């Protein structure tokens, strides 16, 4: 049975995301940071909501350029709060600025992230969605360490979803046609 992971649904934007991005190991620091920010915005919402607004987020947040965002102040926050194309949540917008500053304090965000998995994706072998955890001791530790580094909106559940999305963890079900290709992409 080769069915994609059940969470992907049938909407094209979601199935395309599942088939081409989710679980693919990401080694670029800036791309990892962007995905962490978007997962923070997703808190309390469905991922498809963020996915449909992702291009708007990229425009509103200067292409997720941490150096630009780190210089933001109240005028940029107000512009984002007035932008119907994104999630208009002051706390999450301000956390993005804080997270940009924290990111810039790190020497190599990608190396920092991948150190938690020994530099290669953790290969899980879940048969059903019910087996997949919402958080793990590893995501809990990574969340604590991100917070110590100054990051916000990065609790254990957000971090676990982000680790899945960025391929730090391969959580495609073993029945999914993307499980083995993602496994093969590990460096």
Give the predicted TM-score (pTM) of the model. Answer: 0.96
- d(CA 152, CA 98) in angstroms, rounded, equals 7
- Spans of the chain below 50 pLDDT: none
Token readout for 122 is: 């953790």
Give all strands (DSSP E) within the chain, no chain letters. 122-123, 169-170
- d(CA 125, CA 104) in angstroms, rounded, equals 35
pLDDT in tens, 34-55: 999 999 999 999 999 999 999 9
In this prediction, residue 1 carries a pLDDT of 52
């Amino acid at each position: 049975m080769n069915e994609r992971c059940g969470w992907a649904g049938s909407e094209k934007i979601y199935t395309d995301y599942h088939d081409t991005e989710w679980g693919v190991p990401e080694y670029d620091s800036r791309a990892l940071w962007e995905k962490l920010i978007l997962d923070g915005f997703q808190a309390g919402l469905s991922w498809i909501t963020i996915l449909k607004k992702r291009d708007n987020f990229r425009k509103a947040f200067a292409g997720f350029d941490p150096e630009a965002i780190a210089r933001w102040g109240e005028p940029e926050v107000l512009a984002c709060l007035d932008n119907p194309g994104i999630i208009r949540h002051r706390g999450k917008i301000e956390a993005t600025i804080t997270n940009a500053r924290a990111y810039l304090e790190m020497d190599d965000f990608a190396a920092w992230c991948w150190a938690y998995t020994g530099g290669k994706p953790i290969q899980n072998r879940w048969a059903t969605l019910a087996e997949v955890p919402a958080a793990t001791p590893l995501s809990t530790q990574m969340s604590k360490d991100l917070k110590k580094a100054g990051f916000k909106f990065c609790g254990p559940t957000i971090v676990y979803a982000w680790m899945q999305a960025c391929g730090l963890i391969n959580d495609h079900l073993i029945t999914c046609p993307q499980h083995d290709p993602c496994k093969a992409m590990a460096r």
